[in-house]
Amino acid sequence: MTINGLNFATSAGTNNVFIGDAKNSICKVLSSTPTSIVCQVPRMLDDYTTGQALNVVVTGRIIEESICSGSCSFTYVDTGATIIVVPDVTTFRFGDLVSIGGSGLSGATVSVGGIACNANVTNTLITFAYPALTAG
């Protein structure tokens, strides 16, 4: 989700974005500028209704009030539950082919340890080669 406004902190870790009543609904901030925040929307909680507009609240600036401009609400749209079946193997090595099955997976991206993976994604299957990770 992209939020446009004024007086946002330029450090992504300084801003906090909440959706709805903020109960377990923190939007993970990926990047921010003084006029824009991009965040990863959390899954829809059972407390919310699909299609119902929810307030978006940004906090983090102490000196100036952060101001959202335009529409300051967010609406979850239930396109069907995403179901993921995690592989039985819990230890992978560089180059291992990993397949994750489920439903509603179209459009998914894969990142392991902060490293983006080139993945083959269908609605029911994600396949990718396990990347080389730094030890530790």
Summarize pLDDT for 61-82 with one digit per residue, the tens. Answer: 555 555 666 666 665 555 555 5
pLDDT, tens digit, 9 for 90 and up, residues 14-51: 788 887 765 556 788 888 888 888 888 777 666 666 67
The CA distance from 19 to 136, in Å, is 34
35, part of any domain: yes
25 C-beta neighbours (distance < 10 Å), count: 22
As for how many domains the chain has, the answer is 2
The CA distance from 23 to 75, in Å, is 16
What is the residue range of 116's domain?
83-129
**Statement to judge: residues 6 and 71 lie in one domain:** yes
Cβ neighbourhood burial of 37 (10 Å; 0-12, 13-18, 19+): buried
pTM of the complete model beyond 0.75? no
